[in-house]
Structure 1
Amino acid sequence: MSTVAELERVVDAALREAELVYEHPAPGRFLVDLPGTKKLKTVCGLVIGEHGLRVEAFVCRQPDENREQLWTWLLQHNARMYGVAYSIDAVGDVYLTGRVSAASVTAEEVDRLLGAVLSYADDHFNTMLEIGFGTSIRREWDWRVKRGESLRNLEAFADFVRRPRE
């Protein structure tokens, strides 16, 4: 059985090898910055325990609307995901969480898990925002158009705001 110190060495080496920005704020704890394109940065926590590795990453705050639709969408995606799953906390904020046994913690597995977290947080981020914050996105778009303000940081939602409202 691997010790916490041995698992720390494996995780640290994997993060260095991947050239990721990370902190090691306490024994058994790593905070890793995963750069994205839609979600500009996902901070992923890696927590080492006696029996394995816990993975946690905040994805988005609780939705303003369509909560059940978003939860359904997340649960449907969970069935096809590797290593982590969408979960919510007590207030409804969305996270990616997972656990790996100590025997499975290798540099390759850490890389695979971080890749999964990045992919699931980044690839689906705009869809989650459209489901859970669609009214706010459209309101902000309309307000900016009316005032002649820049739409640059909302460009990813151009097709969404132009779609007829359901």
Structure 2
Amino acid sequence: MNQAEIVDVLEKTLTEREIEFSRRDAAGAQAEHFVLELPGERKLKTTVLLTAGPHGVRVEAFVCRRPDENHETVYRYLLRRNRRLYGVAYTIDNTGDIYLVGRISGDALTPDEVDRVLGQVLEAADGDFNTLLELGFLTSIQREWAWRVSRGESLRNLLAFEHLIDKDALPEPGEPLPGRYVPGETTAVDAAGERSSESFDDDSSSDP
């Protein structure tokens, strides 16, 4: 299967499965990019980059930003998860952000195989997301919870982490939070799982 045929399979598969996608310029490389977003439950969306090259497809999906803490525990969890994943594996980039990456050879590329790999990406990214936050962003979650309580703000998107909160130590509504805390400067739940589709590593355009 040549590159034109690989591109055709990807385009037809995504269109027939009603998966919205956009094409991205390969910046002169011998490859074509498809960017798509898979909706989830714990992680609202997972951005996936499919790079079609002469020999197959590279799969890359952003999962989570670099953990704030407990790095060894997080990486041990990811390595253990790799044993049970199909077609992709967890890795980190040069800043420590967490990705799923994989390759589908041109000979193995079919609509069903694209389905299986994208299904695995979504299952892993969405299913592991809260666990990664609990392991790698515990302090941020606790501080964010306390800050919202002190301000009387909604805790809706933090309720999955209620079991991590010592409610006896929370401030009263309207009571200032001890120390300086500015949401967004410390990685919290929403920020940990978001990244622009334009900010994949430069090597994502390499030949699969």
Range into which the TM-score falls when normalised by the shorter chain:
over 0.9
| Corresponding position of 1:110 | 114
Spell out structure 1 runs of 4+ moving beyond 3 A: none
| Corresponding position of 1:30 | 34
State the SS of the aligned residue for 1:124: helix
- How many correspondences in the alignment? 162
How do 1:101-140 residues align onto structure 2 when only pairs under 5 Å count? 101-140=105-144
| Corresponding position of 2:51 | 47
Corresponding letter in the other structure for 1:105: L
CA distance in 2, matches of 1:161, 1:128: 17
1:95-122 deviations in whole A, cap 9, x for unaligned? 0000111101101101111111111000
| Corresponding position of 1:158 | 162
TM-score (norm 2): 0.75
The offset of 1:162, in angstroms, is 4.9
TM-score (norm 1): 0.93
77, 82, 91: which is aligned to 1:78? 82
The range that moved more, 146-155 or 123-132, is 146-155
In terms of fraction of residues, the more strand-rich structure is 1
| Corresponding position of 2:195 | none
Corresponding letter in the other structure for 1:92: G
| Corresponding position of 2:94 | 90
1:128-153 deviations in whole A, cap 9, x for unaligned? 01111000001111122233221111
CA distance in 1, matches of 2:7, 2:43: 28
CA distance in 1, matches of 2:21, 2:139: 35
Report the CA distance shift for 1:122/1:162 in structure 2 as closer, same or farther (over 3 A).
farther
CA distance in 1, matches of 2:166, 2:17: 40
* Bigger-Rg structure (1/2): 2
The offset of 1:127, in angstroms, is 0.5
Alpha-carbon RMSD: 1.3
| Corresponding position of 2:197 | none
In terms of fraction of residues, the more helix-rich structure is 1
Q: Percent identity?
A: 53
The offset of 1:155, in angstroms, is 1.2
State the SS of the aligned residue for 1:80: coil
Corresponding letter in the other structure for 2:157: N
The offset of 1:161, in angstroms, is 2.4
Corresponding letter in the other structure for 2:79: L
The offset of 1:84, in angstroms, is 0.4
